[in-house]
Structure 1
Amino acid sequence: MNKRESKSQVIPNVDRAFNILELLCESPEGVRFIDIYEQLNLAKSSAFVLLENLEMKGYVEKTPDGRFRATLRLFQLGSKVLNNLDIRAIALPYMTALRDETVFPVHLAMLDGPDIVYLEKVESSGFIKFDTYVGKRAPVHLTAVGKAIAAFLNEDQLDDIIASRGLGGGTDKAVTTKTEFKTVLETVRELGYSIEDEEEVHGIRCIGAPIRNHTGKVAASISIIGLHRELPATRIPEFGKKVIETANRISSALGYKTLPAEAAFKA
């Protein structure tokens, strides 16, 4: 549908009703009736009928001094939409774009109890395939996706995970103490991205970043995975930035509003 076709299908009263709602949303103290129809260039009768209908539907209310203001009905509807967003469906095109840009497989994961669970994976066209798959569970401390989420948990949540799952397993490069793990998570918060450097399997490196939902809470994470030689230490900041940017885009699509000065996610 082109712009001309979309404009021809605008229903005048629907358009006017939304214009009224947008005006009222910008004025929490309420707007006088005369200001509504004058600012929006509406006939008095049209403005009256539209306001009456919006009030009946619960989107508009009158203040004691006779002004009109928007209610929380719009917020309630928006919250339902945000809560019903399918993170896998939303994240997939961004994950695919990251795979195409970096040529590395991309993971999407969430915390489930004390474990990380892989929700989605976008494979690369490379010959080597990694032992990760949708539904796989893994320890938080041995994965980049796990660290990206753990770095933004509160102390009690983190201690519960460590107490429940422990810090065992992995290779000789894996963290083994709570103090060491918490130091790693501090670095994740500072950098905005996490690294898994041959800690679960020798020869494999991953870079992850957190995804926030509309409330600002870290709800998931993404990561890229590659052989150690394909992800050299000198290029980690470069790829880390790309992973953060993709996580930010997914977060934005989920309703999270980043501040202008944010270069990366901070606790």
Structure 2
Amino acid sequence: MAAKQMVADDKTRAASPSTDRALTVLETLIGSETPLTLTLLAQTAGVPLATCASIVQTFEQRGYAERQVVGRSHFWQPTLRLYALASSLIRKLDPASVAQPQLRALSDKVEMPAHLGALNALSVVYVAKAATPGFVQFDTFIGKVAPYNLTALGKAIAAYLPEDELKPLLVRLAAGAGPNAKKPEVKTFLADLEETRSRGYAVEDEEEQADISCVAAPVFDASERVRYAVGVTGFSQKLMGDNLPGVISAVLSTAAAISRELGSTGR
């Protein structure tokens, strides 16, 4: 066998074949919409029948799988103990802590404040921030609340919400005080969200207040649902000029990195 082929085989060979088989069986159980017989489970997972039997019996003993006996057939399915494990992990993943190093790097790169925002009813809440030292400090702070439709953070989240979750938010659109504020109309706002989805990021240019602009991109979790948005805030003259393409690229890269930290695969 050629050395190059041996290297390729090493990369694809599981370090622990038994663990690999167990995880494959578990993933097969979780991915099935209906309980599986042992024979079908083994065939679908590509695991020998006797090995598959030992694996699911171990899962049963540990509370990760259960069987239903129908006549002479045994059907296997996963239990909610897996959900309990995932919930415990999610509680430990404080998004602000996960995002902070990424926000720090983003702020340093674009030399503007960077934020992580979450949607709460009709408002965006700033849950994390990183800013460069300087004389001018923007009025953005952890815990700040702003109308979701007047911020790039809010628009970046709203653009990716399911229709049933977005619809209740459209009943109250706040009016901005900036010179570029649009009339708070549903049709206009939906067109803005469509544009946000098509390009992958949101822009707010002097809508909430004069001289201030923002660029933001959505952050997704392990279920591929939008949960947060990451963005930067700056003076319009600086942000919306020649710096804009670089800022957009940096924001998109940061949002993707934070999404991966939260379990998103980008599918």
TM category, shorter: 0.7 to 0.9
Which one of 33, 48, 53 corresponds to residue 32 of structure 1? Answer: 48
Look up the match of 2:174.
Answer: 167
Letter in 1 for 2:48: R
Distance 1:188 1:23, change over 3 A: closer
| Structure 2 CA distance for aligned equivalents of residues 203 and 22 of structure 1 | 54
1:82–1:255 contact (8 Å) kept in structure 2: no
- CA apart distance, 1:159: 4.1
2:68–2:74: 8 Å Cα contact kept in structure 1?
Answer: yes
CA, structure 1 residues 239+192, in 2 after alignment: closer, same or farther (shift >3 Å)?
same
Closer, same or farther in 2 for the Cα pair 1:163/1:60, shift >3 Å? closer
* Structure 2 CA distance for aligned equivalents of residues 137 and 114 of structure 1: 10
Partner residue of 1:219 out of 227, 238, 242: 227
Deviations 1:122-165 (A, max 9, x none): 1112321001111111111211101111112344544432323x
Kindly indicate whether residue 87 of structure 2 is the aligned counterpart of residue 80 of structure 1.
Answer: yes
Question: CA offset at residue 17 of structure 1?
Answer: 6.7
Tell me the amino acid that sits aligned with residue 32 of structure 1: P
Could you say what secondary structure the match of 2:238 adopts? coil
Partner of 2:63: 58
Cα-to-partner distance string for 1:197-248 (whole Å, 9 max, x where unaligned): 1112221211001111121111111111111232133432332121111111
CA separation of 1:17/1:194 partners in 2, compared to 1, >3 Å: closer, same or farther? same
TM-score (norm 2): 0.74
- Runs of 4+ in structure 1 off by over 6 angstroms are 61-70
TM score, norm. by length of structure 1: 0.74
Give the 3 Å change call, closer, same or farther, for CA 205–76 of structure 1 in structure 2. same
Contact 1:60 1:68 in 2 (8 A): no
Quote how far apart the aligned CAs of 1:58 are: 2.7
Q: Deviation of residue 258 (structure 1)?
A: 1.1
SS at match of 1:208: strand
Question: Residues 27, 192 of structure 1: CA spacing in aligned structure 2 closer, same or farther, 3 A cutoff?
Answer: closer
Tell me if the contact between 2:65 and 2:77 (Cα under 8 Å) persists in the aligned partners.
Answer: yes
Q: How does 1:106-145 map to 2 (within 5 A)?
A: 106-145=114-153
Counterparts in 2 of 1:139 and 1:61: CA distance versus 1, 3 Å:
closer
Aligned equivalent of 1:265 = none
Deviation at 1:66, TM superposition (A): 10
RMSD: 3.1
The alpha-carbon distance between structure 1 residues 234 and 69, as it changes in their structure 2 partners (threshold 3 A), is farther
Give yes or no for the alignment of 1:96 onto 2:104. Answer: yes
- What SS is found at the alignment partner of 1:173? coil
Partners of 1:24 and 1:68 within 8 A in 2:
no
1:183: Cα distance to partner? Answer: 1.3
Q: Distance in 2 between matches of 1:51 and 1:183?
A: 51
What 5-or-longer segments of structure 1 have no aligned partner?
A: 1-14, 37-46, 260-267
Q: Which residue of the partner structure matches residue 22 of structure 1?
A: 23
Amino acid in the other structure paired with 1:210: P
Which sections of structure 2, spanning at least 5 residues, go unmatched?
1-15, 30-40
Higher mean displacement: 194-203 or 78-87: 78-87
